[in-house]
Amino acid sequence: MAKPIPLLMYHQIAEPPARGDPYRGLCVAPERFARQMRLLARLGWTGLSMNALLPYLRGERQGKVFGITFDDAYTNVHTNALPVLQALGFKATTYVVAGKLGGSNDWDHGLGIAASSLMDVAALREWQAAGQEIGSHTYDHLKLDRLSADEVRHQLVASRQTLEDRFGESVLGFCYPYGGWRPDLSEAVVRAGYVHATTTRHGRARAGGDLLALPRVHITAGTGTWGLLKRVYTGYEDRRGSAKLRREASRTPSEDVAD
């Protein structure tokens, strides 16, 4: 039986803000990230991008592999994560918001989250030249599950076309902003030309699973050595994902409206 495949989910690789900051959990300190990658390398794991993982996710190959993903394409990922990946020979995917190249995470500003710069075209080309991968994170970082079908189509198609035109490579991977996934969105993702898509649902991926709703392993500011190993080697994240699905299934219609 094929082993589960952990797809690690990161956002910013930067010193976390003070406790109580709404974005603290999504910042991993550079040295902590480096320690995590070095530890997995010492334990015999190989970090791969999402495209490189496809044969494993389809059950065509087996190996001690894990995925490395960065949502939003922050500049600090280029600065702090790329040298680590290069030193270890690891490959990763960063999901780019195509309409905000060189901009900032303005979708977070209303939440009191500080601005952080996003990779511009030059930085993303350097990322690619180093053997790393680009995926799509929509055109404007909107919640797809709240948009009309036409708006969803625009966010998916405009993003992929923009990235392919700018960077000259096929964009096969997609990531749902805010984890807003539902079955009909998978259909839209396929129609827009993507092959695989990641969610924010907790869990490890499995060979032969749904390539358009892949779960990921959440790595946060507080994820230490034991926390990383627990997430990668055990069913910890799988159980968290299953528990959340049960909670969502038990909601009443009135609770859904209230959310």
Domain boundaries, the chain: 7-258
Query: For position 24, what pLDDT does the model report?
Result: 83
> CA of 211: how far to CAs of 45, 54, 75, 218, 239, in Å?
22, 9, 28, 18, 20
pLDDT score for 1: 66
The tens digit of pLDDT for each residue in 64-120 reads 999 999 999 999 999 999 999 999 999 999 999 999 999 999 998 877 788 899 999
226 contact partners, CB below 8 Å, separation of at least 6: none
pLDDT at 71: 98
Residue stretches of the chain with pLDDT short of 50: 252-259
Check residue 35 and give its pLDDT: 98
Assessment of whether the complete model's pTM goes beyond 0.85: yes
Q: For residue 254, what are its two tokens?
A: 């009135």
What is residue 17's predicted lDDT score, i.e. its pLDDT?
A: 86
Region 7-258: CATH code: 3.20.20.370
Check residue 64 and give its pLDDT.
97
Q: Report pLDDT for 102.
A: 97
